[in-house]
Amino acid sequence: MRPRSQGPGILVAAIASLLGVATAGGCATPDGMQEKLYDATRGYNRALRWGDFDRAAEYLPDAAVESFLSQSEEVEDKLVILEYQLSRLKLDKQTGEAGSRVEIRWHTDDRLIVQETIVDQVWQFWEGQWYLVDERRARGKPLAIFAETARDEDGAPIAGTPHPYLPGLEEFRDTHEIGLTPKEKRQRDRARRRARHGSGGAGKAPVTANSSRNDSPGT
C-alpha cells in the first residue's frame, strides 16, 4: 500500500503538530535542526517501508552500518511493510536530542496476516545531521529488524541494555564529545595523555560529554 502523497503545506503542519510548536518562520532553528529532524525521521522510516536498506543506513553512525545491513539481508526478501505512521516526535534543541515513535504495519511474504509493531527511536544531532543512535520495539508484534528491550523476571525493562549494533545516546555523545565546552575538551585530552603515559590524573573524575546536560527527552 503506497502512502498518499502530501503537499509541502501539509508536511509543515504535521511536523509542527508533532513537535508542539508553531509554524511561524521565527520559530525555526538557525541551523534547520527541526526541519532536518523531520527529514531524517521520514527519510529513514520511508526507506524501511520500501525495503531500501542501503538508503536507511545513511541515517546510522558509520560503525553500525555493516551490522544493520547484515541483519536486513536476512529479512529483505520475506518482509513486506505496508505503511508507517510517525505518531510522536520530541526535540530538545539545547542538547540536539530527539525521540520519535513510529507505528508500522507489515506482513511476511508467506503469511499475509497483517501485524503492527510500534517502535521508539532515539536521534542525536551532530555536525549538521541527525543520527539514529537507538531503536527498539515498544509494543506490538516483535519484528527481527527492531531490537528488544531486555526485561527482568517481573517483566520490567532493564535500563542501559545495549543495542545489538547502535551505540546508544550516551555513548554516541561521549564518543563525539557532544555537549563539552572547549575547556572540558582540553581537560579530557590532558587526562587521556596522562593516562597513556601512566602518570597523574588520580582523584579527578573523567570529563564526559554528558557531564553538564539535562536528561534526554523521553520517547
Local structure of residue 77 (DSSP, 8 states): T
Which has the closest alpha carbon to 18: 10, 7, 29? 10
Residue 204 falls within a domain, yes or no?
Answer: no
The residue type of 53 is: F
Residue 219 falls within a domain, yes or no?
Answer: no
Q: What pLDDT shows up at residue 192?
A: 86
Report, as an integer, the average pLDDT of 96-101.
98
Give the domain range for residue 47: 8-197
Report, as an integer, the average pLDDT of 197-208.
60
Report, as an integer, the average pLDDT of 9-24.
42
Could you give the number of structural domains in the chain?
A: 1
Residue 1 falls within a domain, yes or no?
Answer: no
The more confident residue out of 200 and 41 is: 41
Q: What pLDDT shows up at residue 12?
A: 37
Report, as an integer, the average pLDDT of 144-151.
88
Q: Report d(CA 39, CA 25) in Å as an integer.
A: 17
Give 33-68 pLDDT, tens digit per residue.
999 999 999 999 999 999 999 999 999 999 999 999
The more confident residue out of 142 and 9 is: 142
7 pLDDT higher than 60: no
Domain CATH code at residue 82: 3.10.450.50
The more confident residue out of 103 and 203 is: 103
Question: What separation in angstroms does the CA of 7 have from each of 11, 39, 46?
Answer: 6, 14, 16
pTM to 2 decimals?
Answer: 0.76
Q: What percent of the chain has a predicted confidence (pLDDT) above 70? A: 77
Average pLDDT over the chain, rounded to an integer? 83
Residue 215 falls within a domain, yes or no?
Answer: no
Residue 3 falls within a domain, yes or no?
Answer: no
Residue 135 falls within a domain, yes or no?
Answer: yes
Residue 211 falls within a domain, yes or no?
Answer: no
The residue type of 148 is: E
Give 157-179 pLDDT, tens digit per residue.
777 789 999 999 999 999 999 99
